[in-house]
């Protein structure tokens, strides 16, 4: 069993103009920190896209998210801040919240850490179009396949660890490690020779890209990895 501690800050950048929007895209395994014109800040998770219209803060504060991000919304504007994604929409005059809506995942998730937030389906539901109003420590999970949106409680400390980039494993089995990494980085995994990968793993990482984590993981578990087409592929030696 290998135990290591790494502390490195890596913030890559990716931005392009597609005409109507300024498009920010984070690479698989990397996060991207952004500051919007109204003073709001965004921590864009790995493998995610944020579209910000060129007229942002002039006639609205609406952005489009494909992936996951943490938003700290600046108050004081006459316009509500709106995040719209596949199947779900959130709006607030000032709050801090996490939103997750990856195209390759069926579920959608929004958590509030500060302020209050209105969450609703971005499509017309045949059964229920009622909005949910969230306070700190509350979250919404949505699955359009079954047309169900549920409000629940969650532990804010877990999201705070994610914000600080503190990823910790203490004698965790290999399948669970991959489950955590897939959730943490928003990158799907493909495993070749899974039966050979039965090690337990211990390590602490702070603000590490996925490549660094997988390098240490494969050193312990005797596997090779590559990241391509937005997916992590691991193969046992």
Q: Which fold has domain 165-236?
A: Phage tail protein beta-alpha-beta fold (3.55.50)
pLDDT of 85-126, one tens digit each?
989 999 999 999 999 999 888 899 999 999 999 999 999 988
The set of long-range contacts for 168-171, using a CB threshold of 8 Å and a minimum separation of 24, is 168/203, 168/204, 168/205, 169/201, 169/202, 169/203, 169/204, 170/202, 171/1, 171/200, 171/201, 171/202
Contact 65, 89 (CB under 8 A): no
Euclidean distance between CA atoms 107 and 100, whole angstroms: 8
Full-model pTM: 0.85
Indicate if the alpha-carbon torsion angle 24, 29, 35, 40 is positive or negative.
positive
pLDDT of 21-55, one tens digit each?
999 999 889 999 999 999 999 999 999 999 999 98
- The top-level CATH class assigned to 31-159 is mainly beta
């Amino acid at each position: 069993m290998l135990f290591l501690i790494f502390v490195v800050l890596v913030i890559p950048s990716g931005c392009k103009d597609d005409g109507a929007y300024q498009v920010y895209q984070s690479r698989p395994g990397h996060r991207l920190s952004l500051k919007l014109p109204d003073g709001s800040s965004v921590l864009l998770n790995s493998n995610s896209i944020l579209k910000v219209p060129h007229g942002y803060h002039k006639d609205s504060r609406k952005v489009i998210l494909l992936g996951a991000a943490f938003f700290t919304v600046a108050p004081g504007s006459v316009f509500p801040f709106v995040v719209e994604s596949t199947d779900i929409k959130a709006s607030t005059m000032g709050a801090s919240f996490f939103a997750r809506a990856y195209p390759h995942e069926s579920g959608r998730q929004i958590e509030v850490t500060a302020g209050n937030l209105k969450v609703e389906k971005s499509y017309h539901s045949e059964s229920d179009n009622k909005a949910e109003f969230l306070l700190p420590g509350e979250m919404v999970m949505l699955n359009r396949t079954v047309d169900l949106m549920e409000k629940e409680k969650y532990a804010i400390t877990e999201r705070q660890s994610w914000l600080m980039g503190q990823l910790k494993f203490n004698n965790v089995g290999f399948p669970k490690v991959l489950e955590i990494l897939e959730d943490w980085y928003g990158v799907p995994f493909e495993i070749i020779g899974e039966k050979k990968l039965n090690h337990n793993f211990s390590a602490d990482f702070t603000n590490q890209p996925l490549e660094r984590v997988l390098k240490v993981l494969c050193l312990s578990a005797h596997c090779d990895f590559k990241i391509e087409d937005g997916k992590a592929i691991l193969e046992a030696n």
